[in-house]
Amino acid sequence: MVILVNSQTKVVVQGITGKEGSFHTKQMLEYGTNVVAGVTPGKGGTKFLDSIPVYDTVKQAVSEKDANTSIIFVPAPFAKDAMLESINAGLKLVITITEHIPPLDTWKAVSHAKRKGVTLIGPNCPGVISPGLAKVGIMPARVFIKGNVGVVSRSGTLTYEVAYRLTQSGIGQSTVVGIGGDPIVGTTFTQILELFERDQDTKAVVMIGEIGGDAEERAAEYIGANMSKPVVAYIAGVTAPQGKRMGHAGAIISGTEGTAQAKIDALKSVGVKVASVPNEIPKLVKEALSR
């Protein structure tokens, strides 16, 4: 069954004619993703690669092409409006790749998505891939293979690294989700874990966290109370200095809050196996699947 995206996903690309949008749309098409339309205001009536119709609005793409998912490559100052437009057009899944979006803009979009029952992934994320079925994002497709281990991560780069190590060990992935590294994101670890728990194609889950915030601690609470499937975790930032932001806007610790050790302790307390380095993850996953 996998989660979020599959062969039936019909994608509209917002910002399809821009540098990033056009490059990654080509990559998604090469992977076999069903990209049905693009949106660039003022360029409606044109075509991308002579085959993908470009519209002025998302509403037109939904009406004409029955799109059900959008991926956003719109520059940060306009990203909030792009997210709101997709939400209001009736799409069920909105994936926002754009980074450097002001937190207030993100909060407004996330709040509206919740009111409308829309799943918003990101912002500042690599997207979602269900290997062999659909890639709606910017991840390098070659590092993923189809299988039964779900992956959810705050970090794009670590997503690729861990997936590659799993693949090298012969462990395929059901769906891989990058939720984004900003302080405010549309979908949390807990929400993705819930989807994996219900997914028949997922037999175990890898969760990749990092310092800052309490998302991993909340995930630990959910795992302890609700997860029947084994979870393996890795938390980046063990050696990060206090008070210094590390990479992501959400990766900052204050006092004892948001530290890697606090997250590791919370996860271990509910039976999650936590890798000390990414190299350990495949071994822990194989052990978990063999039980």
Q: DSSP letters of 86-129?
A: HHHTT-SEEEE------HHHHHHHHHHHHHHT-EEE-SS--EEE
Q: What average pLDDT does range 126-138 have in this prediction?
A: 98
User: What pLDDT does 245 receive?
Assistant: 53
pLDDT at 33: 98
Q: pLDDT tens, 7-41?
A: 999 999 999 999 999 999 999 999 999 999 999 99
Could you report the per-residue pLDDT of 43-79, keeping only the tens digit for each? 999 999 999 999 999 999 999 999 999 999 999 999 9
Residue 78 parent element (H or E): helix 76-88
pLDDT at 254: 47
275, amino acid identity = A
pLDDT at 212: 83
Q: What is the pTM of this model?
A: 0.93
Domains of the chain with bracketed CATH: 11-121 (3.40.50.720), 139-290 (3.40.50.261)
Asked whether residue 242 carries a pLDDT value surpassing 50, the answer given is: yes
pLDDT at res. 7 = 95
pLDDT at 211: 87
Q: Of 24, 100, 112, 248, which is the active-site residue?
A: 248
Residue 134 bridge partners (DSSP): 130
Pairing of strands 35-39, 134-137: unpaired
Q: Is 112 a catalytic residue?
A: no
Q: Is 95 a residue whose pLDDT tops 90?
A: yes
Binding site for substrate: which residues?
160
**Averaged confidence pLDDT in the chain:** 93
1 vs 118: which has the higher pLDDT: 118
pLDDT digits (tens, 9 = 90+) for 172-216: 999 999 999 999 999 999 999 999 999 999 999 999 999 888 999
Closest C-alpha to 58, from 24, 8, 19, 12 = 12
- Residue 86 or residue 236, greater confidence: 86
* Known binding-site positions for CoA: 17-20, 43, 97-99
Residue 166 confidence (pLDDT): 98
* pLDDT greater than 50 at residue 5: yes
**Residues forming a β-bridge with 236:** 210
| Binding site feature residues | 17-20, 43, 97-99, 160
Q: Is the pLDDT assigned to residue 240 strictly greater than 80?
A: no
Above 90 in pLDDT, residue 255? no
